[in-house]
Structure formats: C-alpha cells, structure tokens
Structure 1
Amino acid sequence: MRRAFLLALACFSFSSAQNTTTELRQQFAAQNITALFANDAGYTAARQAYNLRYTVLPIAITYPTTVEQISTVVKAGAEQNLNVVARSGGHSYIANGLGGTNGSLVVDLSKMTNIIVDPVTFNALIETGNRLGDIALILNDAGRGLPHGRCTYVGIGGHSGFGGFGYAGRMWGLTLDNVLSATVILANGSVVTVSESSNPELYWGIRGSSASFGIVASIEFRTFAVPPEATAFEYVWEMDIATASNAFIEFQTWALSGDVPAEFGGELFFLKGSEYGQVEFAFLGNYYGPADSFNSTIAPFFSTLPTPAIANITQGTWIEALAATAVGDLNTTTQPDSNDTFYAKSLMAPQDVPLTNASITAMVTYLAQEGFNSTDFWHVEVELYGGIASSINKVSLNDTAFAHRNTLFTFQPYASSPNLLPPYPSTSFGFVDGMISSLTSNMPSDWNWGAYPNYIEDRLPHWQERYYGSHYERLQALKSSVDPRDTFRFPTSIQE
C-alpha cells in the first residue's frame, strides 16, 4: 500500500514538474525571452558551475535583455513557487548563481552589458551582465576607474553586491561603497530605484547582501579619474618557516604603522615550497602614486626581507598596471571563462586585535609542513584592507550592509584538486579548514573574526554571524519586508 502511494506521489511530482516547465516555456516564448530547459541544446553547458565540485540542475536558465523581461521571469517563478536567483559572471564559489540546489529558476544577466559614462558627472551606469575586465577597459577609455578585484571574468553584480575588494580599495573603497543607485526587480515583479533618497533601506541592503532581496539589473557607480602613473609589482622568495613568519610579522607591523599610503594596494601570497619546511612567499599589488616614490613607499617593509628570487615590476598607466596583475585578460571576449574544482574559505582579521606572533608562526608552519605533503594546488592570500589611511575602514559600520569595517587583513585559503577536475579529494576539506584553525587556535577565544561573503562557503559554522555580524537581524527584517515568500533563496541567502 505504501509503495503504491509513493509511486503515485512520484508520478504526481513528475507530472507537476512537466506542467510547470510547459507553462514557463509558454510564458517566456510569449515575451521573446530566451530560456534553456533540461534536454534543450546548450542546457548542459549553461548549467555548469564555475566550481566543478557542484552539479546543479536548474529548472530553466533565462537570458533576459531588458528590465521588463527580468520582471516577467521573476513573476513567473514566484507564481510557481520556484526559488529565483541571479547569475552575473557566474563565479559563486558554491554555485549560488545556479541556485545552489536543483530546481531553481536562473536569471542569467550576461546579455545585459550596456555601460554609459555620464560626460558631466562621470558616473557610470553599468548593467550587471558585465565582467570586471571589460568594465575596466571601457571606463579607462573615458579616463575613469572603479575599485574592484583582479579576476577579470567575475561579474559586477555579485562582486558589488557583497563587497568588491581590489588593489585600489584602500584608495577608493570597496566596489559597493561606490554604488550611488540601482534598478532592482522585486519578488512581485515590480521595478524600483534604490538610492539614499529612494527606498533607502533596500539601498542599504543591496550593498552587502543584494541577491537575497531582488535582481539588480543595473547600477550607477561613482567613478574616479585614473591616476597619472601606476606601478604593478610582484616579488617572490623561497623561505623557511622562521624567515617567512618573521616576514609576515614585519608586514603586519608595517600595515599598522601609519606609513602605508592609501595609494598602496597589496597582499602576501603563500604557495607550496620546493621542500618540506619551506613555503613560497610572494608580495604583490599595485601602487598608484608617482613611480619614483614606489621604492621609498615599500622600503619600511621591503628592507626587512632577503633578496627576492623573482622581481617583476611594471610601471606605466593605470590600465597597464591592472593588466599586469589581472587574473585573465581584461577583454573577456577573447576566450572562454575557465573552471576549477576547489574549496575555499575566508577569515577577516580585525584591525583592533592584531594577529599574535604565535598565530602567524602556526599558520606558516602548517603551510610549510602539511602544505608540502598535500597533493592539491593550493595558495593563501593575505589581502591588506586596513591601516590608518584605508578608505575601506573609514566608512561607518552601519552605512552599508557590509559588516567588516575594522578589517586589517582578509585571508583566502584555497585548494584545487590536483588536475583542477572532479572528484575533489575528501581529505582536502580538512586541509583547508586547518589553514584557518592554525590562526584561530592561537588567538584569544573571543577574537571577533569575520568572513568575506564573496569568498562564500557552505561549510562555515554560524555563517550568519561570520558574514553579516551585527547586521543580520536588520537584513532579516528587510527580507521579510521585500521578499516575504522567500522567492530569492539559495543556501546562504538571508533567512527570515
């Protein structure tokens, strides 16, 4: 009897799904909205996640070209009680842009790539299907720039919706700090403008957790005159544990000293050493001051280090420096995007409680020993957010939904499978987790570290607190107000 009931339920569910698919096809066709469903040519490639650890099967992937078409898709999804998600560049680490779980309705924004720079204000209206590299090129043609990351294929929608760190950040702030207004499609299909004077609470929320509240179709950004000169730099050493630990300690001392100008943006980079007990230690970034002041700017830190094995310096224009440190071509139309199979985490270290020497040494020791034994391709980035001159930390905590305005460094431990393809080694999760615990276990038990929402993971305990801190309850209230049926949902969306 029970078997018969389950078979009947399965038949009903299959029939219901067929009906939903048929209805969606009809609705999208009536509005000339391109959509791919399972078994359609192109669907398999379209639903592939950037991180190949994830296999996600959306009910459909839509490609709107206008705000009106986005509204149609959202309303259709809401009527069918589907979770609706936006995909900009598609680089979510846990496939949130595909819904994170099967059955989502995806609003792929890749056909919406207009960029208009106002000739008077120099504000830029950017549709959210654009990728960072292409934006940089187009803005540069107008003599303008925007702070953003160096991975060129990342989409501006997610990047600006949850943070947006780049080497110009200490000078100009995070990407989201320069959002002046946006056009947002809500769960009921209505189209609203958000800014300081229009829907100010939603304007606050999309600058830190935008995908939970609506589909952001376009954003008006404040842009900046590009600096007349720029220096891209990369120095690499092979170091033992003591030398690398001391180098990191000196880097933190320099970062806290007040000697680091806002025009400096950089990070440390750790990779596998050539033998047990060694690490590859890199210092890289961009400097936007006069070229002849670069050496004196980094000297307080650099003079504490041994002679580097590799030194690559590019001095020239703003766009040349961006290209020199970019991951991928700035012109993303020249070749397809790549994929990876990886696990990554993050830790945002507060500036008012600096890392202890013990925590730094413990992490370097872990990388030099456990890291050498690992067969993964791994790295750890230590991005400099803070320091006295940092524009990132000068923004008041409650001005945006971004919850980490007291950050000195953001760590990103990242490990790929040996051939960058599935399956992902089960042991690698613990290996990456250990990179973080090597730090936290050597800090005070009440150390108030955070996590960066753009380096998202789905294994983080208490993720609501780590990603959103004191802002989470306010974000929950906003979610209840603008999306009471939880239409825009994915594994790490704001939960009522």
Structure 2
Amino acid sequence: MGNSPSALQTCIDAVGNGRSGFAAYPSNPLYQLTWVKPYNLDVHVTPAAVVRPETAKDISGIITCAKTNNVKVQAKSGGHSYANFGLGGVDGAVAIDMVNFQHFSMDNVTWQATVGAGTRLGEVTTKMHDAGKRAMAHGVCPDVGLGGHATIGGLGPMSRMWGSCLDHVLEVEVVTSDGKIQRASEKQNSDLFWALRGSGAGFGVITEFVVRTHPEPGTVVQYSFTFGFGSQAEMAPVYSAWQALIADPKLDRRFGTEFIMMPLGAIITGTFYGTDAEFKATGIPAKIPTGGKKGVVINDWLAAVALDGENEALYLSKLATPFYSKSLAFKQDQMIPADKVKKIFEWVDTQDKGTLLWFIIFDATGGAVADVPMDATAYSHRDKLLFYQSYAVGLPLSGKTRDFLTNFHEQLKAASPKAYGTYAGYVDPALTDGQQQYWGPNLPKLQSIKRKWDPLDVFHNPQSVRAVV
C-alpha cells in the first residue's frame, strides 16, 4: 500500500475537484522534470506541490489550503528566477504555476490592454501588435513571464524611452493571503498596489494586469560592434568610452545599449527607436567605440524585438542549467574610473574561470525610469544609470567559477565603493542583506504593508519582504 495523501494534498485535490493536470506532488513520477522545471539546476528545490489553477477562485482555494497547513506560497509565471524563487526558493512550498492565465484583450478607445499573468513576453509583443500595433516596455527574453517581470521592475532596451514594465501597470487582479480576490490600483487598495509594483512575490498572486500601451515605433536601428580574439585588457579603453557615452545626462532616451564581456573579447549592442537619419542626428554614432566588426540592421518593431530576444538567448539561456550570477547597480557619480577599469580587465585575463560559458553584462538604464519618483512604487533604483550582472554556467558548476565571479564583483565594489544595491530581477541568493539591496529606502514601507496584508508571511521566499515585528 502507498502512503496516504497529506492533509495539504487532500485539500488541494479537493480544490481541483478531479481535474486532470491540476496538481502534482513529490510522489508523482517525473515530478522535477515535468512539473517543477527548475531554472537554475544549481539551486535544488522540491516544492510540496506544484499547482496549475485555471481561475482566481482556484488560486483562492490553494492559498487557503497552504495557509491552513502552515505552508508557504509562491507564484511562478515564466519560471526564470535565478534562485528558483517561483518554486519557493527552498523545499516545502506550494508553487502556483500561472501557465493557464494567458488571456488578452485590448480596449481600442483607451488603448489599455488586459493581460494574463502567465503570458510570456514574446506573446505580449505579438498580441499587442495584432491588437492595433501597440507596445509597452519590457525585457527582450521572450520566455520570461509577465507575472514576475511586471512586479519586480521589468527592464529592457526601451525602458530609457518608456520607463520600466511596472510603470505601465494601471491595475491588477490579485488574490491576497486571506484568499480574497481583489482589484488593486491607485484608487483601490492603493498601498497593496504600491507594494505589488516592485515586490509582488511577497504580497499576493496576481492573475491579470491592466496596462497602458504606446504606438509601436515605426523603425528601429540595431547595431553591434564585436571585438574578438583579444585580451580583456585590450577591451578596457573600449569599455571606458562606452561608459562615458551612457553616463551623459543628455543621452537620447530612444537609445538603449549593453557592453558584454565574454571569453573571446566583447560586444557592444545598441537599439535606437527611430530612423537611421534620426539616429545619426543624435550624434551617438560618432561616440560609439569603434574598431570591432560592425553590424547594423534597420528593422520594424516585431523584427527588432525578435532580434533582441535572439541576442539575449546567446548570453542568458532559456535552458535550465547550473549557473552562478552576481550583480550591482551604479549611480551617475559611481561610474568606474578608467585606471581602475584597466586594472580589473587586466585581472580578468589572469584568472582561471573554470568554464568557457561566462558573460559579464553592463546595461544602461536611467532616462524615463528616473522620471518616476523613488517612492512612487516599491521599485527603488530610479537613480541608477548602470547595472551589471555576471552569469556563468558549469557542468558541473565549480568553485573556480564561483570564485571568479565573486572576486570580479568584489573588485567592482572596491573600484566604486559607494555603489550599493541591485535589481531584484537579478536575484542573488548569496546576499545576506538582500531586502535592503533590492528595495533600499522603500523597504520600511514595504515591511509595514506586509504586516497589514500578509502578517503570517504566507507569500514567502528566502529574500522576500518580511512584516515589521
């Protein structure tokens, strides 16, 4: 005879009412492969259950089951958390997989879209295009889910022009820790709405978003300079020139760009939302470091987003792998001095990385993101101009690889001692002060709102917001 179902399993199965494919448990065959689907294979997580609800009422019942059995809850949209936080981050949580929440509609008067929280970004782009050639700001990895992306920040190459993804959110439907299905906006449950835009995982399960949209840009100029088969030391002046470009407070907001260090050199990528003539008129092309292999493509909106997605996949794979990552954010006055850039890049050449699959990405931000006051939403990095994140895959992941990225991170901190904090989308489970680094000056308010809306900490992962004691 097999083991009897737990009280949690019995409760969840009752919510499902016999529906096939509703829930699975550790006893299910191929549980990890077909239900859990962890993104970072170096972070081992076994949820107490993975549930695929179909309605907000289902989610309400699941939360009630978890709460009754003293089990934590986390929602998973695309499942791309670097530390598998959508699965709870540690063993024993209930993971709510939002795969069935992919509904979409467009109001052709207000041009506001209603989008299910399980919709992937690639589908968001396509559905908005088909509904009237509309668009919104978001990242370019097509398999990332909107539910996590739009509640943590949602940065992409169009963010300097339009703001972050969460800045487009006007209203949500959310299931809270008491099991109630509620609406949240600036006018209704405004404190909860404030917290959900930047720290959603700790405050509820969002089922749908109402978002504002923009007309698609007609033309997009995309370029790249590839510097190959050289040492990182040779890349140092190229990086410093690129950093000077993105630190210019007058940099045209239609321009987004990255500098990517990699084993055989570096790549500078850029996206300009406008015509080639408009791009040249900005003066940016004359300031872009040259010397590498140049590639320029002029696309329409859909093709541009697709190309950005393909490029992103080269560095941050959508495939599940064992990987390690670090990150840091920089303000205007925290850019790295050229002499220290030179020393850091020279140091990289001397290191045993333990893998050939490593990338270090510097990404320009600011622009329209900074137009929103720091305390307008829970997202706290309005004053940052640059993020970096490192990413290395090992099969298996070695101590040498971890040491390389950790020591690189420490050298950046030493080169810019005032730089502090990072984007919660680049979650780092090694941080001992993660909440402070992610939410900075907004953390006390988040803690107070947590006490009101989730005092028992039902919505929990290792670095989510805790209620004020």
Same fold (TM over 0.5): yes
Task: Give, in whole Å, the separation in 1 of the partners of 2:274 and 2:22.
Answer: 47
1:73 partner SS:
helix
Displacement, 1:47?
Answer: 1.1
Question: Do the aligned partners of 1:362 and 1:439 also contact (CA within 8 Å) in 2?
Answer: no
Aligned position for 1:250: 241
Aligned position for 2:25: 37
Aligned position for 1:382: 362
Question: Do the aligned partners of 1:182 and 1:216 also contact (CA within 8 Å) in 2?
Answer: yes
Amino acid paired to 1:98: L
The alignment of Structure 1 onto Structure 2 pairs a total of residues equal to: 459
Question: Do the aligned partners of 1:133 and 1:329 also contact (CA within 8 Å) in 2?
Answer: no
Inter-CA distance 205–435: structure 2 relative to 1 (3 Å threshold)? same
Question: Do the aligned partners of 1:128 and 1:157 also contact (CA within 8 Å) in 2?
Answer: yes
- The superposition leaves residues 241-297 of structure 1 with CA deviations (integer Å, 9 ceiling, x where unpaired) of 554221222122222334521111111111013xxxxxx121113110112233454
Task: Give, in whole Å, the separation in 2 of the partners of 1:204 and 1:353.
Answer: 28
Aligned position for 2:304: 321
Amino acid paired to 2:298: Q
Relative to the length of structure 2, the TM-score reads 0.93
Aligned position for 2:339: 358
1:401-412 to 2 correspondences below 5 Å? 401-412=378-389
Amino acid paired to 1:86: A
Question: Do the aligned partners of 2:202 and 2:460 also contact (CA within 8 Å) in 1?
Answer: yes
Amino acid paired to 2:216: V
Amino acid paired to 1:325: D
Q: Which deviates more, 477-486 or 24-33?
A: 24-33
Aligned position for 1:168: 158
Task: Give, in whole Å, the separation in 2 of the partners of 1:156 and 1:300.
Answer: 36
Task: Give, in whole Å, the separation in 2 of the partners of 1:329 and 1:353.
Answer: 26
Task: Give, in whole Å, the separation in 2 of the partners of 1:405 and 1:368.
Answer: 34
Displacement, 1:17?
Answer: 7.3
1:481-492 to 2 correspondences below 5 Å? 481-492=452-463
Displacement, 1:33?
Answer: 7.7
Task: Give, in whole Å, the separation in 1 of the partners of 2:107 and 2:368.
Answer: 24
Inter-CA distance 427–152: structure 2 relative to 1 (3 Å threshold)? same
Question: In structure 2, which of residues 193, 202, 212 is the aligned counterpart of residue 222 of structure 1?
Answer: 212
1:77 partner SS:
helix
Question: Do the aligned partners of 1:48 and 1:56 also contact (CA within 8 Å) in 2?
Answer: no
Amino acid paired to 2:237: N
Question: In structure 2, which of residues 274, 285, 288 is the aligned counterpart of residue 299 of structure 1?
Answer: 285
Matched, 1:454 2:415: no
Amino acid paired to 1:435: F
Displacement, 1:427?
Answer: 2.5
Task: Give, in whole Å, the separation in 1 of the partners of 2:343 and 2:148.
Answer: 33
Name structure 2 gaps, 5 residues minimum. Answer: none
Task: Give, in whole Å, the separation in 2 of the partners of 1:219 and 1:42.
Answer: 33
Question: Do the aligned partners of 2:151 and 2:198 also contact (CA within 8 Å) in 1?
Answer: yes
Name structure 1 gaps, 5 residues minimum. Answer: 1-13, 274-279, 331-335
1:411-422 to 2 correspondences below 5 Å? 411-417=388-394, 421=395
1:54-453 to 2 correspondences below 5 Å? 54-141=43-130, 142-238=132-228, 239-273=230-264, 280-297=265-282, 298-302=284-288, 304-306=289-291, 308-309=292-293, 311-327=294-310, 338-370=319-351, 373-386=353-366, 390-417=367-394, 421=395, 423-444=396-417, 447-453=418-424
- The superposition leaves residues 8-41 of structure 1 with CA deviations (integer Å, 9 ceiling, x where unpaired) of xxxxxx9897333233323432688811122324
Displacement, 1:313?
Answer: 2.1
Amino acid paired to 1:198: Q
Task: Give, in whole Å, the separation in 2 of the partners of 1:133 and 1:188.
Answer: 33
Seq. identity, %: 28
Displacement, 1:228?
Answer: 1.1
